[in-house]
Amino acid sequence: MKLLLAARMRRMAQWIPAWDSWARWVWCRKQRKQLRVAEHGVVWVRVEKKGWALWGAKNGFFGLEWAGPLPYLRALAASG
């Protein structure tokens, strides 16, 4: 079911340019929420989402760090 949904989302991204931007934004928000509850404070990034992770880090959703060639996300420190 997840594979079918992912395939449909990719197809929609090709048909509707704004869909990709919206999907990336939603993915980044979801990752930020997961970082709040992550047991070890990091979320590993799949290779196909590396571009989205770079975008999310650039736009302040989370920090992006590397363990060799593997990217992972860290929550940003709260500014106060």
* Pairwise CA distance, residues 49 & 55, whole Å: 10
Per-domain residue ranges of the chain: 2-74
Per-residue pLDDT of the chain (80 residues; tens, 9 = 90+): 777 877 777 776 666 666 678 888 999 999 999 988 866 789 999 988 999 999 999 999 999 999 999 999 999 876 44
Return the ∠ at Cα 38 (arms to 33 and 42), rounded to 5°.
95
* Pairwise CA distance, residues 75 & 32, whole Å: 7
List of residues 6+ apart from 69 with CB closer than 8 A:
none
